[in-house]
Amino acid sequence: MITHRSLFLRHLAQTSDAPLALEIEKASGIYLYTAEGKSILDLISGIAVSNIGHCHPAVVKAVQQQSETYMHLMVYGELIQSPQVLLAEALCKTLPSVMDRVYFVNSGSEAVEGALKLAKRYTGRRNLISCYNAYHGSSHGSLSMMGNEFFKQAFRPLLPGVSHIRFGAVDDLHLINEQTAAVIIEPIQGEAGVVMADVSYFHALSKRCKETGCLLIFDEIQSGFGRSGSFWYFEQLGITPDILVCAKGMGGGMPIGAFISSNDIMQTLTHDPFLGHITTFGGHPVSCAASLATLKTILSDELSLKARVKGEAFRKRLTHPAIVEIRGIGLMMAIELGDANLVQKTIAKALEKGLLTDWFLFKDTALRLAPPLTITEEEIEKACTILLESLSE
Ligand code: PMP
């Protein structure tokens, strides 16, 4: 019998031998609803995407209105499209005034690609630095910046001139020099298993970048859009990057990304060569409309601030002998169990009980905790009960 499941397995390119392969019929708020009639509490938000929940009414309305008005019109950068300009303005209002130019793309990897090209073009330098255990995407350029050999080695040759420093290690900052075009860093490392560094490290990093004339790129693709307890995590660090990249939660469920910088840096894409970065679909009007609705919802409902309180509520409830530590801030957290088998068992048990969680690409001993920021007190209580029961069984 032909089923959606059999078609999924036969015709969709697979990326592992063990896909979740749940058939989802509908998603709303923090719940996914399966074809078998089960409701599943989503504790990972499609990997830090559904920050305001699935199918938020403001996003649905924006998508409906914009798709009835116009969709794709022309390649990026030529025509004035109100969803793009209003979103760019709203984004810039969340940022220090020097960051006043937004380049819209379709995804996180593409935002990273644009940022790397921009840094090379602006500095005239070729070398790039990222951190060990960094995840910046899966395209050739962004994969080059990944700090993990296992996932990279089969795809070489990648970009030349790339080296890595240890996240949080001031001792490695001397490796940044006058040949470095940019350092790209996740201010909270996501796929490494939610790893944070001292505020003083970021000040030293920013100082070293300024001394050597290289650009500092912050990848806030996971930490941005309210997840860390402020709209951008870097607000909590007291430094400003030269280029900021964002995606994921930005679209409220629609695909969109951006790299953002100052006019001084960004204008280099307009000459030698002109059209220094081109995208057909970047800044798609429907995605921009969805993103603007998302941004407004996060600000008006004070979801960043609430993420802090809700993160604390999780921490308070999640005490169990198997939990070694809980890392992270706001609603970007990792529950460290120190045991990859236990992680897999807990994920399976939790799913049986109607809760979706996950592990991390470079950290299989921890559970991912990244629920929609709209999760309620009662839903946190329910999620923690399921997690604790799953750990105990
Ligand atoms: N940077 C970070 C920090 C990410 O977490 C991701 C996605 N996991 C990316 C970049 C790449 O984004 P995308 O999958 O949209 O290309």
- Could you tell me the distance, in angstroms and rounded to a whole number, from the CA of residue 37 to the centre of ligand 1? 31
Determine the 3-state secondary structure of 243 from DSSP. strand
- Could you tell me the distance, in angstroms and rounded to a whole number, from the CA of residue 210 to the centre of ligand 1? 26
136 lines ligand 1 (CB under 6 A): yes
Instruction: Please state, as a whole number, how many other Cβ atoms lie within 10 Å of the Cβ of residue 100.
Output: 18
Q: What domains appear along the chain, each with residue ranges and CATH number? A: 58-300 (3.40.640.10)
189 lines ligand 1 (CB under 6 A): no
pLDDT value of residue 94: 98
- Could you tell me the distance, in angstroms and rounded to a whole number, from the CA of residue 123 to the centre of ligand 1? 25
| pLDDT tens per residue, range 303-335 | 999 999 999 999 999 999 999 999 999 999 999
Ligand 1 pocket: which of 135, 186, 291 to mutate (most atoms within 8 A of CB): 135
Instruction: Please state, as a whole number, how many other Cβ atoms lie within 10 Å of the Cβ of residue 246.
Output: 26
Q: Could you give the angle at which helices 303-317 and 285-300 cross, rounded to 10 degrees?
A: 70
Burial of 254 (0-12, 13-18, 19+ CB in 10 A): buried
Diameter over CA atoms, the chain: 66
Ligand 1 pocket: which of 167, 191, 219, 248 to mutate (most atoms within 8 A of CB): 248
Among protein residues, the one whose CA lies closest to atom 1 of ligand 1: 136
Q: Which two tokens stand for residue 121?
A: 């073009």
Residues in the chain with pLDDT values less than 70:
none
- Could you tell me the distance, in angstroms and rounded to a whole number, from the CA of residue 137 to the centre of ligand 1? 5
**d(C-alpha 125, C-alpha 77), whole Å:** 26
Ligand 1 pocket: which of 44, 50, 109 to mutate (most atoms within 8 A of CB): 109
- Could you tell me the distance, in angstroms and rounded to a whole number, from the CA of residue 233 to the centre of ligand 1? 16
**183-211 burial string, b = 16+ CB within 10 Å, else e?**
bbbbbbbbbbbbbbbeeebbeebbebbee
Q: Which two tokens stand for residue 43?
A: 């504790």
Among protein residues, the one whose CA lies closest to atom 15 of ligand 1: 108
Cα of first residue to Cα of last residue in the chain, in angstroms, is 36
Phi and psi torsions of 322, nearest 5° = -80, -15
**d(C-alpha 301, C-alpha 310), whole Å:** 14
- Could you tell me the distance, in angstroms and rounded to a whole number, from the CA of residue 186 to the centre of ligand 1? 10
Whether 387 contacts 357, CB under 8 Å: yes
pLDDT value of residue 144: 98
258 lines ligand 1 (CB under 6 A): no
223 lines ligand 1 (CB under 6 A): no
pLDDT value of residue 132: 98
Among protein residues, the one whose CA lies closest to atom 8 of ligand 1: 137
Q: Is the peptide bond before 255 cis (omega within 30 degrees of 0)?
A: no
pTM of the shown model: 0.98
